[in-house]
């Protein structure tokens, strides 16, 4: 089939690779425009853009698809179908209706739970026991379209957002390949989403990443997992040169109790509002990830030290 692929981040790359491998013709790629990055602030292509260049596929990076000229260009591609995976722009009705078989979206949640921008992070932060990927026919509403195919996956107790992301993008690539095969036979059937159980995975705000030690240990464990590796849950502590931000990339539930935010031992176990959390992998500002033992050798924190409480601290 003639496919228009629309995606931007790493999550989209395995899906695009699988589509090419299955022998479909990707006639164009739509992705977000290059952004300044790194110390030199050089323009950096999105992962999907870089892959499209390797395959020699034309790439378009419009700021909006609401412009009539952009809609005409999209329609002129004469696509059988469009595949959308974490693209980042809203598709107006003129674009949704242009491909002969419509637009399919791969969404990383068990719809209607976690519609929106950050379904992987929100599922873990909420303590969900499972997640998944779904192929949905797109409508004008936010992730409201009927579902054609789905795969579920368990969220294990210590799984991070990064680990779930990596599993879902592989599963999702296979799922979309099967969906396209069914669509090419015009045998892909869709089921309307339930009106019950709708939740929204709002974009992660920077302020949310701060750890509030007054919360209970289980919710903080989920908080750390859901924000690892990016943007990373963090606390602040004085390591001798004023308050310094420290990200927590991995932790585990631990025994102990005390005043919230206080170190309970010399192994980086921190008292929470209820229970305690042992920090396993952390990252100081300007440095790479490190194990707790390595961090403690440089930080020289001792039992009884107070970490910033978080909200209102």
pLDDT score at 243: 87
Rounded CA gap, 291 and 276, in Å?
A: 18
- Looking at domain 206-299, does it have CATH number 3.10.25.10? yes
Whether the Cβ atoms of residue 211 and residue 227 lie closer than 8 Å to each other:
no
Smallest CA-to-CA distance from 114 within 101, 100, 99, 125 is with: 125
Residues 246-264: tens digit of each pLDDT: 999 999 999 999 999 999 9
pLDDT score at 313: 42
- Output the CA–CA distances (angstroms, integers) from residue 156 to 131, 141, 225, 304, in the order listed: 10, 31, 11, 32
Query: For 2-200, which CATH superfamily applies?
Result: Formyl transferase, N-terminal domain (3.40.50.170)
Rounded CA gap, 307 and 304, in Å?
A: 9
pLDDT band at residue 241 using 50, 70 and 90 as cut-offs: confident
CB burial of residue 98 (10 Å; 0-12, 13-18, 19+): buried
pLDDT score at 192: 98
Rounded CA gap, 124 and 225, in Å?
A: 7
Rounded CA gap, 31 and 16, in Å?
A: 12
- 310, pLDDT greater than 70: no
- 312, pLDDT greater than 70: no
Cβ within 8 Å of residue 164, ≥6 positions away: 120, 123, 124, 131, 153, 155
Q: Lowest-confidence range among 92-96, 142-146, 299-303?
A: 299-303
Residues 58-86: tens digit of each pLDDT: 999 999 999 999 999 999 999 999 999 99
- 141, pLDDT greater than 80: yes
Q: What angle do CA 16, 70, 87 make, to 5 degrees?
A: 30
Q: Give the chain's mean pLDDT.
A: 95
Rounded CA gap, 198 and 1, in Å?
A: 33
Residue 118 is encoded by which pair of tokens?
């950050």
> Is the backbone of residue 197 left (phi > 0), alpha (psi -120 to 50) or beta?
left
- 55, pLDDT greater than 90: yes
- 289, pLDDT greater than 80: yes
Please report, rounded to a whole number, the percentage of residues in the chain having pLDDT higher than 90.
91
Rounded CA gap, 60 and 31, in Å?
A: 7
Tell me the angle at which helices 13-21 and 161-184 cross, rounded to the nearest 10 degrees.
30
> What are the domain boundaries of the chain?
2-200, 206-299
pLDDT score at 238: 87
Residues 99-117: tens digit of each pLDDT: 999 999 999 999 999 999 9
pLDDT score at 87: 97
Whether the Cβ atoms of residue 232 and residue 210 lie closer than 8 Å to each other:
no
pLDDT band at residue 182 using 50, 70 and 90 as cut-offs: very high
């Amino acid at each position: 089939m003639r496919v228009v692929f629309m995606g931007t981040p790493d999550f989209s790359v395995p899906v695009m690779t699988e589509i090419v491998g299955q022998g479909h013709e990707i006639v164009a790629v739509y992705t977000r425009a290059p952004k300044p990055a790194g110390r030199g602030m050089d323009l950096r292509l999105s992962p999907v853009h870089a892959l499209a260049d390797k395959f020699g596929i034309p790439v378009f990076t419009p700021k909006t698809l609401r412009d009539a000229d952009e809609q005409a260009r999209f329609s002129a591609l004469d696509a059988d179908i469009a595949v959308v995976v974490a693209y980042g722009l809203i598709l107006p009705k003129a674009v949704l209706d242009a491909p002969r078989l419509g637009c399919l979206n791969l969404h990383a949640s068990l719809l209607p739970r976690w519609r929106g921008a950050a379904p992987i992070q929100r599922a873990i932060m909420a303590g969900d026991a499972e997640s998944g990927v779904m192929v949905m026919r797109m409508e004008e509403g936010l992730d409201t379209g009927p579902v054609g195919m789905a795969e579920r996956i368990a969220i294990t107790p210590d799984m991070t957002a990064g680990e779930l992301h990596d599993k879902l993008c592989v599963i999702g690539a296979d799922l979309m390949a099967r969906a396209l095969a069914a669509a090419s036979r015009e045998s892909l059937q869709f089921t309307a989403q339930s009106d019950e159980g709708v939740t929204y995975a709002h974009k992660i705000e920077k302020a949310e990443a701060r750890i509030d030690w007054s919360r209970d240990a289980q919710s903080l464990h989920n908080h750390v997992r859901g924000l690892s590796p990016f943007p990373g849950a963090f606390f602040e502590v004085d390591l001798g040169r004023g308050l310094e931000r420290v990200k927590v990339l991995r932790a585990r539930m631990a025994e102990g109790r005390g005043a919230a935010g206080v170190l309970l031992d010399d192994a980086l176990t921190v008292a929470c509002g209820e229970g305690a959390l042992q920090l396993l992998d952390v990252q100081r500002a300007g440095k790479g990830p490190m194990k707790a033992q390595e961090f403690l050798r440089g930080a020289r924190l001792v039992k009884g030290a107070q970490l910033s409480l978080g909200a209102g601290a």
